[in-house]
Structure 1
Amino acid sequence: MRYKHFEAIEKRAGLLGVLTAVMVSLGGLAEITPLLIRAHSVTPPANVQPYDALRLAGKDVYVREGCYLCHSQMIRVLRFETQRYGEHSTADESIYDRPFQWGSKRTGPDLARIGGKYSDQWQRLHLLDPRSLVPESNMPAYPWLEKRQVDGLDVQARMRTLRRLGDPYTDEEIAVAPEAVAGKTEMDALVAYLQGLGLRSTASAEIAALQDDGADSETSGGAGTGAAP
């Protein structure tokens, strides 16, 4: 009797299609639902704070210039990944990224832990002329960033919007945002953003210590096609 039921379904293409869609939907829900529930349960660690005004401006420059098209910020839980880039990425350290920058495309190296690896001057020179520091790099130069000033009022408006979305900016932080970025260029902002990457993770105290001890000694070198966007 059971086989007759199966035969009846197989001979009716429409019924077979509907039942197949139902089973695929149930299977998809079984996989996706736990992920959605877990996503809403992610909370920021105590050491992870929203971007300050300058770094927020730098993140917007990073996205606008398409840096994410060649650089991921997602270190996978694989030995060859962590040996090259450091501690694997976790969702909680990216909780204030809108949009998040994990990605998968790597024309250049992953930047999840780039903060403090090189000096501010190295990052600046690398953005101005990548091949002067990394001869094999195919990264384009970004000289116009040195000429464009950060719009403090725009940053302030972005912070207000992000607070509505849940970022815990205080009234004081929003009020002083224009002053915090006054006289800063988009190059300053992007370098500040890059230098903060990885320092917000729960196991990056050693990287932060290296930065404080004088990462300025890193004036040359690089891996792959460059260490910045």
Structure 2
Amino acid sequence: MKHETIETNAGWLIILTLLVISIGGLVEIVPLYYIDETVEDVDGVRPYTPLELRGRDMYLREGCYTCHSQMIRPFRDEELRYGHYSLAAESKYDHPFQWGSKRTGPDLARVGGKYSNEWHVQHLKAPRSVVPESIMPDYPWLVENKLDYSQIEDRMRALKAVGVPYSETQQEYQANVEKFGKDVADKLHIPKADQNLVDEAQQGNYDGDNSDITEMDAIVAYLQVLGTMVDFSKYDEGEFVEYR
């Protein structure tokens, strides 16, 4: 059958298009029935602390996701630049996830610990002062605005409703102690959210000024945790291939 015949015959075009789509769909769907789990079994991944969670809110509010992705693809050039490719497990507590679809700026999946707190503060206040070629806008108000965390408990309860293991009862708290350890479980306990947020901000001193808790404290805390939860040195190369 000539290609011209297919293009000029609506019936053949519809039939063959559906056939191609069906084959493509089966190639993607059938393997899923032979995979027990698509989320990797790794240690270290935990929900965000109250301060990190508010920082993520700032990240979303300012539209950072429109220019920065948080998904390193399994290609050699990406791994050389950004590090180990992203795992599904690293985003399992994100609602919504921040994988992104555009990179006007670099991927941020593993930005945590790459720069100092001071660098992040300066970069957010005046990007071109540290990266001359940057086209990122300035965000000076982040260090000027006090952080509003009056609704942090409600925000954590909302995430708990969709499966994020924040605890409210003693039973839930004990389950988190067994799963994440006591130090992490304490930070995930909703009744202590306000005090946990204040303590983390003061101890971390993310914006360089302990006189108050600002939006800058929160967003830097969030950036500094990205990509730091999984210790990839514990896993052999190719460990996660079975999940792909």
Alignment match of 1:190 (pick from 219, 230, 233): 219
Number of residues of Structure 1 aligned to a counterpart in Structure 2: 199
Quote the Cα distance in structure 1 between the aligned partners of 2:36 and 2:153.
28
Q: Deviation at 1:44?
A: 5.7
Task: Indicate the residue corresponding to 1:175 in structure 2.
Answer: 191
Percent identity (aligned): 48
RMSD, aligned CA: 3.0
Tell me the secondary structure at the aligned position of residue 100 of structure 2: coil
Q: Is the 8 A contact 2:111 2:226 kept in 1?
A: yes
Query: 1: CA distance between counterparts of 2:233 and 2:150?
Result: 32
Aligned-pair distance for 1:21?
6.1
Provide TM-score, normalisation by structure 1.
Answer: 0.74
Closer, same or farther: CA 33–85 of 1 in aligned 2, 3 Å: same
AA at the equivalent of 2:54:
A
Report the equivalent of 1:82: 79
Separation in structure 2 between the aligned mates of residue 65 and residue 28 of structure 1, nearest angstrom = 38
User: What residue in structure 2 maps to residue 109 of structure 1?
Assistant: 106
| Mapped contact 1:152–1:179 kept (Cα < 8 A) | no
Structure 2 alignment gaps of length 5 or more: 174-188, 199-211, 235-244
TM-score (norm 2): 0.70
After superposition, the Cα gap between the structure-2 partners of 1:103 and 1:53, relative to the gap in structure 1 and judged at 3 Å, is same
Structure 1 alignment gaps of length 5 or more: 4-9, 206-229
* Distance of aligned partners of 1:130 and 1:90 in 2 relative to their CA distance in 1, 3 Å threshold: same
Q: Distance in 2 between matches of 1:166 and 1:36?
A: 23
- Structure 1 residue 33, shift from structure 2 partner: 2.9
- The answer (yes or no) to whether the contact 1:57–1:155 under 8 Å persists in 2 is yes
Instruction: Note if contact 1:151-1:178 (Cα within 8 Å) is conserved in structure 2.
Output: no
